[in-house]
Amino acid sequence: MTPRRAGWLAGLVVFASVGALEWAVTIDRGGPESGDTMGGNGFALGATLRVIILATATGGLVASIAASKRGRRAAAFAAISAYLVVGLWTWWQSANSPAAPGEDPGRYALGLVTTFVTVGTAFALTAALIAWWIVRNAVGRDGPERVLALETASLHGSRNRWGAAMRAELASIDDPAQRRSFARSAAAAAFRHGTGRWPVILAAFAGIGAGVVVFCAARISFDRPRDRGIISEPLMGLVVVILVSAVVAGTLIGRSFRAGIETAVLAWLAVYICTIAVEVPQALAWYHEEGILLLDGEGAAGAGVDATAAALQPISHSAFIFVSVSQLVIAILAAALGAGILRIAQQRTRTPDAAAQ
Amino acid sequence: MKRVRRPSPQMVAVLFALCERGKDQSHGYDLCRILDLQAGTVYPILRRLDERGLVETSWEQDPPQGRPARHLYQLSAAGEDLVAELRQLEAHSDRAAVTPPPRPLLGST
């Protein structure tokens, strides 16, 4: 068995197991009728998407790192650091939100472990992927050369030749100050002109789509029993679907992981801004009409919550980490997914495009 | 009638500089120094000129050992036609515009 195939297989087995565990915990909570704010189809759909993306990205990353020694150490260091950060965050969460009276301690601990494994692995994978890609591409004899090499990495078509021309020109300059100036200016040009307008177009599409979905989810949830907010609305899973679709499309159109990363960051920003732009007025409407909070549907009256707090609830730190940062991680992993699809397609058609990945 | 978009002053400067070199090929960095423009300005222009068929490009033959081959640029026939057209336009605008003073076509050159 080749290292590539072993990597894919290992990734699939690990995340199929974790996914099954997370799914079991979700179903065990009783689904949408249980009144559990985190239970229900939306959460299960999100779990499924996370598992699919994580499994695919793990397979691709492990296979790529196994095939290329360069960057392996940086990827491992980044992954361990990410696990450490998520571990500390999980510990902090458990210290601040201990098990409720009467809650089964075993189930509470299982929930924490599941969260740590899924969130930690997603963050670790993303960190490893970025570190590995940077180290693999930032090759050169000094800083300016490495910066320019990174910025011109994975350009395709005529832009690939253009990047090579700038790198060759830099190699012929000896004066350190001129090297720095040339590299800085050329890298900025490569950043601006490297992948064209598609990342921006796709980001706009993702942002508008997410805004529409959030608006519909808020209105549909409002007409349902008031003990759940939009976080349990199955329709919210579409936001991730839109984000992932936009990023995969950006990777395939730009024919590189670099184009995918650009699309991922821009689309994530657009989705975040549009989501908040819809959620804040909706939160105010929920608060004024029924005195409940948009995210979890719990009653705000009597809990010391005012209109401002209700409106700002969607951008609180926990909502930001749970939803938005996770979406960024998913978007970057979707870029890896797109790059994997691209590579497979190129291998099948035997197109000699060195720009891929 | 086909609408011709007037090139930017920097692009005109690059075209004129390439024209002055005649049949000699230029490196991108040489153009940056001659025109006192940043690489981030000159290289996107060279890429656009290449895509429009206004320059001919080639890779340096026999580069020094340990250094990659540099990309060389030379005005194509279409580029020469455009330069001639631009020179006519420049001369015409110089004659026509008395007040206010004409916008410099060559930028910093």
Report CB contact under 8 Å: A166, B47.
Answer: no
Q: How many domains does chain B have?
A: 1
Q: Which domain holds residue B49?
A: 9-95
Report CB contact under 8 Å: B29, A189.
Answer: no
Mean pLDDT for chain A?
76
Concatenate the DSSP letters of all residues of A52-76 into one string: HHHHHHHHHHHHHHHH--TTHHHHH
B29 touches chain A (CB under 8 A): yes
Residue B2 lies in a domain: no
Mean pLDDT of the region A127-146: 85
Where does residue A351 rank: exposed (0-12), middle (13-18), buried (19+ CB within 10 A)?
exposed
In this complex, the residue of B28, B44, B47 whose CB is nearest that of residue A169 is: B28
Alpha-carbon span A298 to A24, nearest angstrom: 25
pLDDT value of residue A55: 63
pLDDT tens sequence across A167-212: 988 888 888 888 998 898 888 888 877 777 888 999 999 999 999 9
pLDDT tens sequence across A108-125: 888 788 778 877 888 888
Which chain A positions have a beta carbon within 8 Å of B33's beta carbon? none
Q: Which two tokens stand for residue A37?
A: 């704010």
Residue B109 lies in a domain: no
State the helix-helix crossing angle for A176-193 and A158-171, rounded to 10 degrees.
170
Whether residue A268 contacts residue A225, with contact meaning beta carbons closer than 8 Å, is answered with no
Q: Percent of chain B, pLDDT > 70?
A: 81
pLDDT value of residue A207: 95
Report CB contact under 8 Å: A158, B51.
Answer: yes
Cis bond leading into B100, ω under 30°?
yes
pLDDT value of residue B103: 52
Q: What is the CATH number of the domain that holds B40?
A: 1.10.10.10
Residue B27: count other Cβ atoms within 10 Å of its Cβ.
17
Report CB contact under 8 Å: A165, B71.
Answer: yes
Residue B18 lies in a domain: yes
pLDDT value of residue A305: 64
The Cα-based distances of A120 to A62, A91, A95, A166, A333 in angstroms read 16, 12, 18, 39, 14
Mean pLDDT of the region A103-109: 79
| pLDDT tier, A299 (very low <50, low <70, confident <90, very high otherwise) | low
Give the number of residues written for chain B. 109
Q: Listing from the earlier edge strand, what are the strands of the sheet with B55-59? A: B26-27, B71-75, B55-59
Which stretches of B8-99 are assigned E, i.e. beta strand?
26-27, 55-59, 71-75
Residue B4 lies in a domain: no
Question: Would strands B55-59 and B26-27 be described as parallel, antiparallel, or unpaired?
Answer: unpaired
Which residue, among A329, A314, A310, A324, has the nearest Cα to A278 in the 3D structure? A314
In this complex, the residue of A165, A167, A185 whose CB is nearest that of residue B40 is: A185
The stretches in chain B having pLDDT less than 70 are 1-5, 94-109
DSSP symbol at B26: E
Task: Report the run of H or E that residue B59 belongs to, with start and end.
Answer: strand B55-59
Report CB contact under 8 Å: B38, A181.
Answer: yes
Give the number of residues written for chain A. 357
pLDDT value of residue A33: 43
pLDDT value of residue A66: 60
Residue B100 lies in a domain: no
Q: Give the minimum alpha-carbon distance from B37 to chain A in angstroms, rounded to a whole number.
A: 10
Residue B107 lies in a domain: no
Which residue in A has a C-alpha nearest to residue B45's C-alpha?
A189
Interface ipTM: 0.74
| pLDDT tier, A30 (very low <50, low <70, confident <90, very high otherwise) | very low
Q: Percent of chain A, pLDDT > 70?
A: 71
Integer distance in angstroms from the first to the last C-alpha of chain B? 33
Q: Which two tokens stand for residue A191?
A: 């950043």
DSSP symbol at A40: S
Q: Which of A2-16, A134-148, A193-207 has the lowest mean pLDDT?
A: A2-16
Alpha helical stretches, state H, A68-175: 72-96, 105-137, 143-151, 158-171
Is the pLDDT score of A131 beyond 90?
Answer: no
The Cα-based distances of B69 to A141, A284, A352, B25, B58 in angstroms read 17, 62, 21, 14, 10
Q: Give the minimum alpha-carbon distance from B55 to chain A in angstroms, rounded to a whole number.
A: 13
Which residue in A has a C-alpha nearest to residue B66's C-alpha?
A171
Mean pLDDT of the region A284-295: 76
Which residue, among A115, A196, A179, A177, has the nearest Cα to A141 in the 3D structure? A179
Report CB contact under 8 Å: B68, A188.
Answer: no
pLDDT tens sequence across A147-162: 888 888 877 777 788 8
Give strand pairing partners of B73.
Answer: B26, B57
Report CB contact under 8 Å: B27, A169.
Answer: yes
| pLDDT tier, A56 (very low <50, low <70, confident <90, very high otherwise) | low
Alpha-carbon span A233 to A312, nearest angstrom: 20
In this complex, the residue of B40, B50, B60 whose CB is nearest that of residue A186 is: B40
pLDDT value of residue B109: 39
pLDDT value of residue A269: 94
Report which of residues A184 and A61 the model is more confident about.
Answer: A184
The Cα-based distances of A275 to A207, A220, A316, B90 in angstroms read 8, 16, 13, 51
pLDDT tens sequence across A75-92: 888 888 888 888 887 888
pLDDT value of residue A243: 92
pLDDT value of residue A23: 58
pLDDT value of residue A40: 47
Question: Would strands B55-59 and B71-75 be described as parallel, antiparallel, or unpaired?
Answer: antiparallel
Which residue, among A232, A230, A263, has the nearest Cα to A245 in the 3D structure? A263
Residue A46, C-beta contacts closer than 8 angstroms, at least 6 positions apart: A236, A237, A240
Indicate left, alpha or beta for B52 from its phi (over 0: left) and psi (-120 to 50: alpha). alpha
Which residue, among A47, A27, A33, A42, has the nearest Cα to A231 in the 3D structure? A42
Residue B3 lies in a domain: no
Mean pLDDT of the region A13-24: 60
